[in-house]
Amino acid sequence: MDSVDIAVLTSLKDWQGVELPCWLATVVETFGSSPRPAGSMLALRSDGLMVGSVSGGCVEDDLLLRAKEDRFHTGRAEILSYGVTREEALRFSLPCGGALRLVIEPVRNAEWVGKILQAANARKKVVRTLHLDTLKVELSDDAGGFEFDGCIMRVMHGPRMRMLVIGANQTAAYLARMAQSLDYHVHVCDPRAEMQRTWDVPGTVLTGEMPDDAVLALNADEDTAVIALTHDPKLDDMALIEALKSSAFYVGAVGSSANNAKRRERLALFDLSKEEIERLHGPVGLSIGSRTPPEIAVSILAHLISVRASTVQSVVKEACS
């Protein structure tokens, strides 16, 4: 769950103390080119306050107008469609003839919101099931992605994405700044005192413990990426040994193909299986001809986006099969 979703749910929770109607809008279906994926949320209040995004365009303006004009007064969940016709796509600024459907639900009791936020803070996943006819909300720890059948909507909420970077060097600084803009909570590990003194990226957590201890302390899970950037095998390999045994969705190491081939030979001397070693992305990032520190950072983040997108698509296919 990214910070936008957290902000949406936090606003819903805070608004319960205000005597004003509020709603949660969720994207349930997209067709063609749509700016926001299924599961994207927006919190809306009758006085015009709005947090989140479902399209990034005029759809939000239309929802705001409906709320102010009290057109969500039924007290029931509603399904709205936008961009079904070419005229609507142009009117609501949906690109390439895209279309989307939303579920608009009134939120009267935010008890479930608080429980989801607590779970996210504890790095747990929660599936929220909404019964549109009764507005009944159920929470469970079932696996799976987003589902909607016209009567029931299931949305998976999880913890915020994390990145552990080994090495507090220049490439790491560019990567940390860019990763934060993509909503990663960035941890940086470097036991070298001289590197710690020059680290100046606000919003990151800097630690001086040994890299393997840092991976274990973070308890790297499937919402965590571990990137080794020191070029020092004594430091990078320590982190990789533990990271490859963890549930981290991405484990990468900087260096040439030749150096990474030697790294894999070294890793094979430890208690790692062939399958675990094959999880290593080395050289790290997409092969886009990057050479400078910022270019390398871009290639790493582009690869992370690609891997995450592939994972989400796999989950959706499994849920639909």
Asked if residue 169 and residue 123 are part of one domain, the reply reads no
Asked if residue 153 and residue 15 are part of one domain, the reply reads yes
Asked if residue 142 and residue 15 are part of one domain, the reply reads yes
Cβ atoms of residues 115 and 139 within 8 Å: yes
Centre a 10 Å sphere on the Cβ of residue 247 and count the other Cβ atoms it contains. Answer: 11
For 227-267, write each residue's pLDDT tens digit.
Answer: 999 999 999 999 999 999 999 999 999 999 999 999 999 99
Asked if residue 186 and residue 75 are part of one domain, the reply reads no
Asked if residue 194 and residue 120 are part of one domain, the reply reads no
Asked if residue 177 and residue 195 are part of one domain, the reply reads yes
pTM as predicted: 0.80
For 28-67, write each residue's pLDDT tens digit.
Answer: 988 765 667 888 999 999 888 999 988 866 788 889 888 8
CA–CA distance, 92 with 76 (Å, rounded to integer): 24
Asked if residue 147 and residue 133 are part of one domain, the reply reads yes
Domain boundary, last residue among 132, 157, 182: 157
Asked if residue 191 and residue 125 are part of one domain, the reply reads no
> What end-to-end distance do the CA atoms of the chain give, in Å?
24
Helix or strand run (H / E) with residue 51 = strand 50-52
Q: Which residues of the chain have pLDDT under 50?
A: 315-321
Domain boundary, last residue among 94, 123, 157: 157
Asked if residue 67 and residue 204 are part of one domain, the reply reads no
CA–CA distance, 7 with 3 (Å, rounded to integer): 6
Range of the structural domain that residue 217 is part of: 162-309
Res 315: pLDDT: 46
> What's 293's domain CATH number?
3.40.50.720
- Tell me the backbone φ, ψ of residue 264, rounded to 5 degrees: -65, -35
Domain boundary, last residue among 122, 157, 192: 157
Distances (CA, A) of 140 to 112, 116, 118, 128, 319: 11, 10, 13, 7, 16
What domain count does the chain have? 2
CA–CA distance, 232 with 254 (Å, rounded to integer): 10
Asked if residue 266 and residue 175 are part of one domain, the reply reads yes
Residue 315 belongs to a domain: no
Asked if residue 304 and residue 198 are part of one domain, the reply reads yes
